[in-house]
A and B are shown apart, each in its own frame.
Chain A
Amino acid sequence: MILRRGAAESRSRPTPARLRPAWLAAGVLAVLVATIAGLAFGSVSLPPAGVAVEILNLLPGVRLDSGLTEREAAILLQLRLPRVVLGLLVGSMLALAGAAYQGAFRNPLADPHLIGVAAGAGLGVTVVIVLRAGTTAELPIGVPVAAFAGAIGAVLLTWLLGAAGGRDRSPATLILAGVAVSAFLSAGQTYLLQRHVESLREVYSWLLGRLATAGWHDVLVILPYAVITAAIVLTQRRELDVLTVGDAEAVSLGLHPERSRYLLLVAASLGTAAAVSVSGLIGFVGIIVPHTIRLLTGPSYRALLPLSLLFGAAFLVLTDLLARTAGGDAEIPIGVVTAFLGAPFFILVMRTSRAVPT
């Protein structure tokens, strides 16, 4: 009886725009496939089945024979696994932050890198690197905090400058403001480096974007920030759908759009800062991933935010695999790979996305 009623309803009315279980499953599958691929391939190739078994062995109580040699298991668990997990975290943060900025600014071109947030975080990290030049090999725990301060400063500056061209902050105005803010902050960074040449090499290799550091240190540094960011942004997914029809409508429907926007900007900047502080400047992930998901599942943030988290994670791990393997012996900086992929995609988005009225 209940089943028949359900069937009749599905014919007569569309399902509301929300996260479909099939898409959620596809996202989880993408993460698993990317993880196995990221672990199995590289300078030394390992059998994917053996890799999968070795990962299952990490679960408490599981003891299976993976067929990997001791050396292969060491490569897998000590070198590749931390790097893949870091890629998952950074990719999910960049994609989720991109989607959150796009919703909060009601602007399809918003991306952590295009609105100056990454440059702000970068300046924050540079300051820390320069100040503690030559002391330890690993970045101090305080790095994400400095990156966050820079990121929040930059997003505020872009938001204020964006209003200079009119209160509506059209997509183009906001991006122009972001370019100006990025240029300003990069100039600050260049000045700092010029005064502290001894840090140049370290900052430069970090700037290009990298997931190269071995060990679990970086993962542990950004994990808490990633969890907080994801938790806050995901609570706002319905609010973001209402925000797409405008602030006045959102108020008349009983919401607090300013409060939601504030929460989202802080959370997305926190996630960006965490990502930037361990991986440098990896651009365009926040454009490529959310827009591809929009094309596939429609505009609702109820699906877009969780799927950006999953597919962003998978995307960056696969991109890192490409960066590690495509250039032969020399690893290509991952930021260079995402820029090669992202720049044409950006033009595609500009051509296809209608100007979003505010």
Chain B
Amino acid sequence: MTTSGGHAIAVDDLTVRLDGTLIVDGVDLDVADGEWVTVIGPNGAGKSTALRAIGGLLPFKGAIRLHGTPVDRMHRRERAKAIATVLQSPVVPPAMRVFDYVLLGRTPYIPPLGRESAADLDVVDEVLAALDLTPFARRRLETLSGGERQRVFLARALAQGAGILLLDEPTSALDIGHQQEVLELVDRLRAERGLTVLATMHDLSTAGEYADRMVLLAGGRVVAAGTPAEVLTGANLAEHYRVKVRVIEGDHGPLVVAVRG
């Protein structure tokens, strides 16, 4: 699996160690242009670590290519224009306004010692409008609710103008209504802007409803990959999550319910 033609992300034999401990162990993963791939797996499987390595936030061994270019050969700014990451629980800086937070997304376009251009400000305006955040522009980030904040985090990533969006547990802090709202928003933006999405998620049913393909990680290795129906099987989940589940046919993918053994 070393080809990368047509792939927004091509990961080959990715290995990541944190403080000497092997966390990600030889992962292969491809995401086609415009595709939504979600990585699932039990706690400690290495999902977030793999995602952070792909986003350039951790040192790794193996090969990661973005549209065919190895990430380790890209400058940081160049990479930031190609791939944007929304971390699991981003820092909420005290007293910062929503507008200024989203403007941080333009950092890779602003030359050192320079200041933002009119075009940068236009991008921020456009992104705020697309995410229904214009009325919040002057509000302080810490005064927003969890769902509103998650939209602001997304807005900052979109302002980066990158074609690839990495989402680490984008819904973990939200109630189911806001989970759906955020994921629908990501799906709409993906369609409108031709984005490629690589996400990690815990909620299996929700993950399966939005992803084109899924990758199941366990112990740092890929143990299953394919469509949601192929990955979310009773046997896979029993083996790797040690849980008994009932898998129900849904409209957009299998629905997974844990049941007592």
B92 CB-CB contact with A under 8 Å? yes
Give A357 to B97 CA distance when docked, in angstroms: 17
> Could you tell me if A299 and B137 are in contact, using CB atoms closer than 8 angstroms?
no
Given contacts A251-B76, A357-B91, contact A14 B99 (CB under 8 A): yes
A178 to B105, CA, bound (A): 34
Closest A residue, CB atoms, query B109: A254
Q: When the two chains form their complex, are residues A249 and B91 in contact, meaning their CB atoms are under 8 A apart?
A: yes
Query: What is the interface size of chain B, counting residues whose CB is below 8 A from a CB of the partner?
Result: 43
| Residues of chain A at interface, number, CB under 8 A | 30
A239 to B: closest C-beta gap in Å: 9
The answer on a CB contact under 8 Å between A16 and B116 is yes
Contact assessment for A252 and B77 in the assembled complex, using a CB-CB cutoff below 8 Å:
no
Chain A residues contacting B112 (CB-CB under 8 Å) are 235
Pick from B82-90, B143-151, B213-221 the stretch touching chain A: B82-90
Contact of B80 among A235, A241, A252, A353 (CB under 8 A): A252
Q: Which of B116-147 contact A (CB under 8 A)?
A: 116, 121, 124-125, 137-138, 142
Known: A244-B93, A249-B87, A357-B91. A16 touches B100 (CB 8 A): yes
Please classify the interface of chain A as helix (H, G, I), strand (E, B), loop, or mixed, using the class held by over half of its residues: loop
Contact B90 A249 (CB under 8 A): yes
Q: What A residues does B60 contact at CB under 8 A? A: none
Mark interface residues in A1-40 (1 if CB within 8 Å of B CB, else 0).
0000000000011101110000000000000000000000
Residues of chain B at the chain A interface (Cβ within 8 Å): 52, 55-57, 75-81, 83-85, 87, 90-97, 99-101, 103-105, 107-108, 110, 112-113, 115-116, 121, 124-125, 137-138, 142, 160
Instruction: Tell me if A299 and B95 are in contact (CB < 8 A).
Output: yes
Nearest-CB distance from A60 to chain B (Å)? 31
With both beta carbons as reference points, the residue of chain A lying nearest to B94 in the complex is identified as A354
**A contacts, CB < 8 Å to B:** 12-14, 16-18, 235, 238, 241-242, 244-246, 248-249, 251-256, 294, 298-300, 353-354, 356-358
Could you say which residues of chain A place their CB within 8 Å of the CB of B94?
A: 299, 353-354, 356
> What CA separation (Å) do A244 and B137 show in the bound complex?
19
Complex contact A13–B96 (CB within 8 A): no
Identity of the chain A residue whose Cβ is nearest the Cβ of B137 in the assembled complex: A14
Give the residues in chain B near A235, CB-CB below 8 Å: 112-113
Given known pairs A248-B87, A299-B94, A354-B94, the reply for A254 and B108 (CB within 8 Å) is: yes
